Structure 1
Amino acid sequence: MRPLEFSDLGLAPVLLHALRRGGIDKPFPIQAAVIPDILAGRDVLGRAATGSGKTLAFGIPMLVRLSGAPAVPKRPRGVILAPTRELAHQIESALDEPALSQGVRVASVVGGLPIKRQEERLARGVDLLIATPGRLTDLIGRKAIDLSDVRVITVDEADHMADLGFIPQLTAVLNRVPEEAQKLLFSATLDEAVDALVQRYLRAPVQHTVTTAVPDSTAADDSARATTGAAAAADSVSDSAADPAASNAVSTAARADSGATVTDSGAAQSESAADKGHAAESGPAITHYGLLVRRSDKHAVVTEIAARQGRTLLFVRTQYGVEKMARRLREAGVAAVALHGGKVQNQRTRTLAAFTEGTAPVLVATDIAARGIHVDDVSLVVHVDPPADHKDYVHRAGRTARAGATGTVVTIVTPDARQDWTELVARAGVSVTDVEVRPGDRRLTDITGARRPSGHPVPDPTAVAPHSDSAEPRKPRTPNDPWGRIAAKQAQQSRPRRRARGR
């Protein structure tokens, strides 16, 4: 039996070509599970591991539903809400090529960038708008946008938005969307914080919970996604209007083959993270370790880990701690950059670019990078400071082993934090190996690839060089140069005059 492909889901050939140009032809389980229901117009509540392909899971069918009828100025027909600027930009980037193939105009509006330019972009017309809740409510208040034409809206990372206190902004946005609009909620975890939104705004939603990690090629070939089930799922999309009950039954069977657990209930059943655990969130591709260190050895151990080969993500609790750690790593010879909410947008953009392009192989960050940030080949995640919440552990860990890759997650545990560490991993539902290590320890090298840093300080890879906009250094002015004569005259006039001595 061949694995399920996007072509089996009833997508248009031009969209399939756009996906293939990006090297995408086989859907991940969450994509195979939800795309038929979204295309059929049903409200969906989706839960899947980070890195499992949720963006395309809701993005592709939204593009299909919005194609063919351009939006009028200031009145988008589709909206995607994301908790952070970085996630909003990543969603826009992921949907850029497929949107072009569908003739759908996509734009993003986020905080930290000039709002006037965003107003001008909306005035030219946007079909699918990707936004952070705060900036979108600002634009609504300025009457720069009207949501009365929205046909479908997605809330991505819904529980994280609740954690960040975005519920008032979410409610303000959803209240302005037509009641009959299709509503989709996606997240790596869905707990009681999302209940109020689900009960108030979603109509008879289908809940999809994909409990398997993103499969590698072997697992995908061996999965039970039969050709007959795929064909039935494709048929269910085109026939949904004629026989929605039959469509739902067939597509549910096909989704079961893809590794998804489906709950077709009038009211979606949210689940407690503490009750269910999150072992599936991190997936079997991730190996977890607790590195038990003496407090006096903590910095040396972290520095040796950061000096390893490969892309490494270090999580630190506070903004001050992030800046201090990145600076000390650079002083030791490790090209590290810092990311946190206190940086302006252009600084955050340069930081992520340096990490993504490999100029800086080490990113030190607060939990701003725990959700939504997708960078390929992050092979190691280090909790320099263990998170306070088990959900934060899950989302931090999800930055590695994405899209079928493997990865390692280590947590630096000092003696005073061991009790909290034991309780944290129990609530997170992950299997962890605790190992006592010291600087230069062979076991530390075996687990993380740690090595001694060079000790030669390196510059900040995100620092802006002076005169970076000029290809050649500016030449000094000379007296024979007319501009040089002007400069010399100005310099002479600016000199302080000497008082004449009295006789």
Structure 2
Amino acid sequence: MNHRTNRSNDQRPATRFGRPLSPAERAGKTGQKRGSWQQGGPEAGDGRQRRGGQSFGAPKRRPVKRQVIAAQGDFEVVAPQTPALPAVTSFAELELPRALQATLAREGITEPFPIQGATLPNALAGRDVLGRGRTGSGKTLAFGLALLARTAGRRAETKAPLALVLVPTRELAQQVATSLGPYATAVNLRVATVVGGLSIGRQAGEMKRGVDVLIATPGRLRDLLDRGDVRLDRVETTVLDEADQMADMGFLPQVTALLEAV
């Protein structure tokens, strides 16, 4: 049973957020008022976010040791703690295997697209990379060259690929496989696709023979994993291609489960 003693307004102690006011607060020096806002930044309120980067709530208690560089929807975009490596303007500046360099020249690709020049130094160094670009901007080779370079010289065990590319659709899986095919052949890596709508038995057989780089849609890969036809504990490089589309299509739970198996 709750027991409450009623008081008149003049007997009720002045409080702020459930605590008695300090002498300074009684004098009107209360600092930030409840309901005020600051544009999303390292000192904005208590971290409760509203759309557009506005933050509402209690005054800050301690400075947050991070730099917010933008606010998108309900999420803060935080500046990376490790500075990015400088971009390059030629493939010769990169530590790519000679076979990949020769294949680039043979394919008529003489200099990197901007997204390739910016991301390849970091990806080749083993750093996590997030890139965004339009169709035709060179995204596939931006991740593909680094993936192949880091996997070259190794051989996968049966059912245990060394690199994984997750894509939302069968069509995109085929496009990625076609784009990376000449480069994978140049460094003696075996590439395979596993997608829905095709024989899972044939795909399981291919996994049994050994695949170095696996390009897969989440649903079919989950099926093969459940059947014991593939294992992901040897994967060292993972790519999510068109990750936003996979999220829009409802694949995020499957993708999360697959990444936990890596």
TM-score (norm 1): 0.34
**2:184 equivalent among 99, 124, 128:** 99
CA distance in 2, matches of 1:166, 1:94: 24
Once the two structures are TM-superposed, the CA of residue 7 in structure 1 deviates from its matched residue by 1.7
Contact 1:75–1:147 (8 Å) recurs in 2: yes
Secondary structure of 2:146's aligned partner: helix
1:164 and 2:249 correspond: yes
Letter in 2 for 1:108: T
Aligned position for 2:169: 84
**RMSD (Å), alpha carbons:** 1.1
Answer whether contact 1:122 1:144 (CA < 8 A) is retained.
yes
Q: Distance in 2 between matches of 1:47 and 1:85?
A: 21
Q: Tell me, in whole angstroms, the C-alpha distance in 2 between the residues paired with 1:135 and 1:58.
A: 22
- Superposed, which structure 2 residues align to 1:53-452 within 5 Å? 53-177=138-262
Structure 1: 5+ residue runs without aligned partners?
178-503
Q: CA deviation at 1:69?
A: 1.3
Counterpart of 1:124, as a letter, is: R
The code of the aligned residue for 2:107 comes to G
Hey, what's the Cα distance between the residues in 1 that align with 2:101 and 2:218? 31
- List per-residue Cα deviations over 1:58-93 (Å, max 9, x = no partner): 000100101111000000010000111010000000
Which one-letter code corresponds to 1:156 in the other structure?
Answer: D
Q: Which has the bigger relative contact order, CA under 8 A and spacing at least 6?
A: 1
Match in the other structure for 2:122 = 37
Q: Does the CA-based 8 Å contact 1:92-1:106 persist in structure 2?
A: yes
- 2:105 equivalent among 20, 26, 30: 20
Moved over 3 A (4+): none
Point out where structure 2 has 5 or more consecutive residues left out of the alignment.
Answer: 1-87
Check whether the contact 1:16–1:25 (CA below 8 A) recurs between aligned residues.
Answer: no
Q: Percent identity?
A: 53
How far the C-alpha of 1:4 sits from its partner, in A, is 2.3
1:367-400 deviation digits (Å, cap 9, x = unpaired): xxxxxxxxxxxxxxxxxxxxxxxxxxxxxxxxxx
Structure 2: which amino acid aligns with 1:165? G
1:18 maps to amino acid: T
Task: Name the TM-score, length of structure 2 as normaliser.
Answer: 0.65
Amino acid at match of 2:137: S
What is the Cα deviation at residue 12 of structure 1? 2.1
1:153, distance to aligned residue in structure 2 (A)? 0.3
Aligned equivalents of 1:176, 1:151: Cα separation in 2: 12
Q: Distance in 1 between matches of 2:179 and 2:240?
A: 16
Who is 2:59 aligned against?
A: none
More helix by share: 1
- Aligned equivalents of 1:142 and 1:77: distance in 2? 19
Q: Quote the Cα distance in structure 1 between the aligned partners of 2:103 and 2:185.
A: 8
**Structure 2: distance between partners of 1:94 and 1:62:** 13
> Hey, what's the Cα distance between the residues in 2 that align with 1:14 and 1:164?
37
- Secondary structure class of the residue paired with 1:11: coil
Matched, 1:47 2:132: yes
1:34-73 Cα shifts (integer Å, max 9, x gaps): 1111110111111122210100000001001011110000
For residue 131 of structure 2, give the secondary structure of its aligned residue in structure 1. strand
Indicate the residue corresponding to 2:50 in structure 1: none
Q: How many residues align?
A: 175
Paired AA for residue 47 in structure 1: R
Question: Residue type matched to 2:140 in 1?
Answer: T
Q: Distance in 1 between matches of 2:161 and 2:178?
A: 18
Supply the distance in 1 between the matched residues of 2:214 and 2:153 (Cα, whole angstroms): 16
